[in-house]
Chain A
Amino acid sequence: MTASEPIISVEGLTKKFGSFTAVNAISFQVMRGEIFGFLGANGAGKTTAMKILIGISRPTSGKATVAGYDIYKDTEQIKKSIGYMSQRFSLYNDLTIRENIEFFGGIYGLTTREIRDKAEALVEKLGLRDKFNRPISDLPLGWKQKLAFSVALLHDPKIIFLDEPTGGVDPVTRRMFWNMIYEAAYRGVTIFVTTHYMDEAEYCDRVSMMVDGKIEALDSPARLKEMYGVNSMNDVFLRLARNQTRAEIA
């Protein structure tokens, strides 16, 4: 995890909706293989910023590259180089595990053979062979999320964006999920993750805290705790986010 080169570079990134500045000139870098926690209160601007970085929203001004690609010009290449999963959108409930893998493999442009090999390796690793032809809706939430994470990695992306991936998941599965994150990071995949669980913020190499559209703090959890003289990331969050003046817009 010794990171050196930036894989995400953001400079003065701004997004306005009318007179409302959702993201206000943020700048930061994420290093290759890093687990980067992107935190903030509801309404701080996290989702808007994330949408720009994954190439589905255009900023008002500022610069950013993701996996070496420009967020204005190269959005299609960005989408091919990243994986994405969220609590709300992960897999299609009415499709079987096999169909989901085939569908997403196809979307990511893998060949039939690649999809077959990947599917094989994936169900083996997750121990889901007997459920291969069952609809996803039969799986408990925690398993769905683990499968969704694996599917988001199907095309060997350089970066994976995780938007509150563990909300509502039981404590044991939540930890198994984080072990998968560590494993991916260990293999060199960069992890960009948002969460409302502050113990998970501790698992990140570095954490940024957004307040009212700006990045108010960015450092390792240990340094942030030292800086604010508190014992937990929860307290760091409370210190910083309490100053937020605006509410959520959506």
Chain B
Amino acid sequence: MEIEVENISKSFGDVRALDRVTFDVKAGELFGLIGPDGGGKTTLFRILTTLILPDSGHAVVAGHPITDYRAIRRSVGYMPGRFSLYPDLSVEENLKFFASIFGTTVEENYDLIRDIYVQIEPFRKRRAGALSGGMKQKLALSCALIHKPRVLFLDEPTTGVDPVSRKEFWEMLRRLRQDGMAILVSTAYMDEASLCDRVALIQQGRILTTNTTANITTTFGRPLFALRTRNIYKVTQDVQEYTYTRSIYPFGEHLHYTDKREKPDPDELRTFLLNKGHRDIEVSIIEPTIEDAFMELAEKES
């Protein structure tokens, strides 16, 4: 195991940021910590990178307990959520700086960052502060990798990033893990869960579940229906009045519906909506997505 987290808790005043968090990440594994803002993701990263101490619990990173901060800092790379390179240094200077404080050179580990760095190399003389968002992100990743860490921590690297750049970023991560590096990455975008080997879903400081995306969605535990209609707002309102409605949520071009009964009757629902004047309703049974599963688990938890 490259990361072992056991019953980690942390409070700030009255706020319980992390509540007995437990999971582990293997060498060569791309592990996602998936959940909304305010869930405790950043606090956990700060604990695992030895910036703050937990109130209770244990964790081991790259073979060292988190109290051994000197050893851990040498063996991990950390890309915080907020851009934290030196804006007044150039691209090249930032990279050299990070290599030198870890006692290495850019040349020594260039192979590891080549794919990423070549994309920003044309701007190597530019001040880091003057880079675009996407380029800053690539530079930050290069700097986090330049000492060839055993474990890589990426805190919300794709927040506010458009779908094309997000896709490219994930392709880079999937290549990196092939070298045996353990990668812990956090995101609020649920659709990115399927790109990880395993994920932990986290909300309000608690892990809802830890597993592969496929295994999480199969534990959904009840039939899920997709309703297709042109009038999402009106249909949502009307479905809420239906006796057996358990949940109704917009999901892209559909509405997702669950029923209070064990054996739902989609024909009856269709008739109910027809009587409300909705003539264009299509109902079909579907497989839940990770977001359906997250909502279901979060509901159970609260």
Contacts of B38 in A (CB 8 A): 140-141
16 A/B residue pairs, CB under 8 Å, sorted by A: A41-B163, A42-B161, A141-B37, A142-B36, A167-B188, A168-B36, A168-B159, A169-B188, A170-B36, A170-B203, A170-B298, A175-B250, A185-B233, A232-B252, A237-B164, A249-B132
- Please determine whether B134 and A247 come into contact, CB atoms closer than 8 angstroms: yes
Among candidates A41, A169, A182, A242, residue contacting B37 with C-beta atoms closer than 8 Å = A169
B232 is an interface residue with CB less than 8 A from chain A: yes
Tell me if B291 counts as interface (CB < 8 A to partner A). Answer: yes
**Besides the known contacts A41-B163, A141-B36, A237-B164, 5 further A-B residue pairs in the complex with CB atoms under 8 A apart:** A87-B160, A171-B295, A173-B36, A178-B250, A241-B164
> Bound complex: CA of A202 vs CA of B229, how far in Å?
12
A186: chain B residues at CB < 8 Å are: 233-234
User: In the assembled complex, how far is the CB of residue A117 from the closest CB belonging to chain B, in whole angstroms?
Assistant: 25
A203 within 8 Å of B (CB atoms):
yes
In this assembly, does A172 line the interface, its C-beta being within 8 Å of a C-beta of chain B? yes
A residues with a Cβ closer than 8 A to B are: 40-43, 87, 140-142, 164, 167-173, 175, 178-179, 182-183, 185-186, 196-199, 202-203, 221-222, 232-234, 237-238, 241-242, 244, 247-250
Indicate the member of B162, B165, B189, B190 with the most A CB atoms within 10 Å.
B162
Residues of A within 8 A of B294 (CB): 171
A169 CA to B291 CA, complexed, in Å? 12
Query: Known contacts A171-B291, A196-B161, A196-B163: does B132 contact A42 (CB below 8 Å)?
Result: yes
Contact of A238 among B135, B167, B251 (CB under 8 A): B167
Q: Once the chains bind, are A42 and B233 in contact (CB under 8 Å)?
A: no
Interface string of B251-273 (1 = CB under 8 A from A): 11100000000000000000000
Q: Is B104 interfacial (CB 8 A cutoff)?
A: no
A62 CB to nearest chain B CB (Å): 25
Nearest-CB residue, chain B, relative to A88: B160
Partner of A182, one of B190, B236, B298: B236
Please state if A247 and B253 are interface contacts (CB–CB under 8 Å): no
A237 contact set on B, CB distance < 8 A: 162-164
Question: How many cross-chain pairs have Cβ atoms below 8 Å apart between A and B?
Answer: 100
CB of A172 within 8 A of CB of B162, answer: no
Whole-angstrom distance between the Cβ of B301 and the nearest chain A Cβ: 12
Give the distance to chain A from B292, nearest Cβ to Cβ, in Å: 9
Instruction: Tell me the smallest distance from the CB of A18 to a CB of chain B, in Å.
Output: 14
Closest CB-CB distance, A193 to chain B, in whole Å?
14
B242 lies within 8 A of chain A by Cβ: no
Tell me the nearest residue of chain B to A201, going by C-beta. Answer: B252
Alpha-carbon separation in the docked complex, A182 to B238 (Å): 14
Does the CB pair B253–A221 fall under 8 Å? yes
Residues of B within 8 A of A (CB): 35-39, 132-135, 159-165, 167, 188-190, 203, 232-234, 236, 249-253, 291, 294-295, 298-299
Which residues of B have CB within 8 Å of A238?
A: 163-164, 167
Please give the distance in Å from B249's CB to the nearest CB on chain A: 5
For A234, the closest partner residue in chain B by CB is B163
Contact A42-B162, Cβ < 8 Å, known A178-B250, A199-B252? yes
Among candidates B133, B159, B162, B188, residue contacting A40 with C-beta atoms closer than 8 Å: B162
The CA-CA distance from A178 to B203 in the complex, in Å, is 21
Bound state CA distance, A186 and B232, in angstroms? 11
Contact B249 A175, beta carbon cutoff 8 Å: yes
- Asked whether A182 lies within 8 Å of B164 as measured between CB atoms, the reply is no
Question: What are the residues of chain B within 8 A of A242 when measuring CB–CB?
Answer: 164
Q: Nearest residue in B to A186 (C-beta to C-beta)?
A: B233
Write the nearest CB–CB distance from B252 to chain A, whole angstroms: 4
The residues of B that contact A249 with a CB separation of less than 8 Å are 132
| Assembled-state Cα–Cα distance A151/B188 (Å) | 25
Cα distance A195–B294 in the bound complex, in angstroms: 21
Q: How far is the CB of B27 from chain A (nearest CB, A)?
A: 30
Nearest CB of chain A from residue B159's CB, rounded to whole Å: 7
Q: Name, among A42, A87, A222, A232, the residue most crowded by chain B CB atoms within 10 Å (CB to CB).
A: A42
Would you call B167 and A42 a contact (CB within 8 A)? no
Contacts A42-B134, A238-B164; is A182 near B233 (CB within 8 Å)? yes
Query: Which residues on A sit within 8 Å (CB–CB) of B160?
Result: 42, 87, 164, 167, 196
In the complex, how many angstroms separate the beta carbon of A81 from the nearest chain B beta carbon? 24
A235 to B160, CA, bound (A): 18
Residues of B with C-beta under 8 A to A175? 249-250
Q: Which 5 A-B pairs have the closest CB atoms?
A: A170-B36, A168-B37, A248-B132, A182-B233, A199-B252
A42 and B133 in contact, given A171-B294, A232-B252 (Cβ under 8 angstroms): yes
Cα distance A178–B256 in the bound complex, in angstroms = 14
Residues of A within 8 A of B251 (CB): 199
Give the docked Cα–Cα distance between A232 and B76 (Å): 38
Question: A244: which B residues are within 8 A, CB to CB?
Answer: 164
Q: Which residues on A sit within 8 Å (CB–CB) of B161?
A: 42, 196
Q: Which chain A positions have C-beta within 8 A of B234? A: 186
Q: How far is the CB of B273 from chain A (nearest CB, A)?
A: 17
